[in-house]
Amino acid sequence: MEAALLESVRSGDRRALSRAISGVEQDGWETGLARPEGIVGITGPPGAGKSTLISELIRVIRSRNQTAAVLAIDPSSPLTGGAILGDRIRMQGHVDDEGVYVRSMATRGHLGGLAVAAQEATALLGEAGFDRLIVETVGVGQSEVEIMGLADVVVLVVGPGWGDQVQADKAGIVEIADVFVVNKGDRPGVEDVRRALHETADSRGVKVLVTTATSGNGVVELLEEIDRLAG
């Protein structure tokens, strides 16, 4: 990567940042940069409301006068190989905020919940000086736990319909989470999921939180727990 481009990224040039991320994603550029500290990984099954929850986390972060960057790993289009930009659409309420940067990245067929270039991309986001770095994975399964190697704090988000799966999921993603979140807390079935998660959570000293991202309920408490864990 050109030194001049990296300096532009460090100076806060968002266009240069986008160009640099495109370079590592599409052209295989290597930055040689170290992984930044404080990365928060948001993962969980499809339909749990991860993107809406992240959007609300951003709102709380911005209320603290902090900046935030999100790397949203999206499924790849089978036709173009590019990202299906659902996550960026759900976060469009922050599009005009210069203190927020959202980038979608396609998995390009890579398994594990992340994209191949995710580590280089987060390194660039770190160089850009954002206060908060969030990585959202695609909907994950039992073996897709790569986020553990990238993030300092892993948040597993599930919905109220996930209770029947909890007892079966004794390995994989349930074991690597640092905090459990039952989202859509205003819907039936939430309490069943919360109770089912407690067996695993208590054995590891992990908290189970309930949020309703659409109203903001529980989101401040989630950010406080993330801060405590990142400590």
Which among 158, 183, 167, 94 is positioned nearest to 132, based on CA atoms? 94
Give residue 77's pLDDT band: very low, low, confident or very high (50, 70, 90): very low
Mean pLDDT, residues 18-27: 91
Mean pLDDT, residues 63-70: 96
Kindly tell me if the per-residue pLDDT of 30 is higher than 50: yes
Distance CA 222, CA 231 (A): 14
CB 101 within 8 A of CB 70: yes
Kindly tell me if the per-residue pLDDT of 151 is higher than 70: yes
Mean pLDDT, residues 130-154: 79
CA end-to-end span of the chain, whole Å?
Answer: 33
Give residue 61's pLDDT band: very low, low, confident or very high (50, 70, 90): very high
| More confident site: 30 or 199 | 30
Residue 76 in tokens: 């790849």
Kindly tell me if the per-residue pLDDT of 125 is higher than 50: yes
Domains in the chain with CATH codes: 3-230 (3.40.50.300)
Q: What is the pTM of this model?
A: 0.87
Sign of the CA dihedral 134, 100, 50, 57? positive
Average pLDDT value over all residues in the chain: 83
Kindly tell me if the per-residue pLDDT of 74 is higher than 80: no
At 80-121, the pLDDT tens digits run 344 444 445 556 667 778 899 999 887 654 444 455 688 899
Amino acid at 173: I
**Can you give the pLDDT at residue 92?**
61
Kindly tell me if the per-residue pLDDT of 140 is higher than 70: no
At 168-214, the pLDDT tens digits run 554 566 778 899 999 999 999 899 888 888 877 888 889 999 999 99
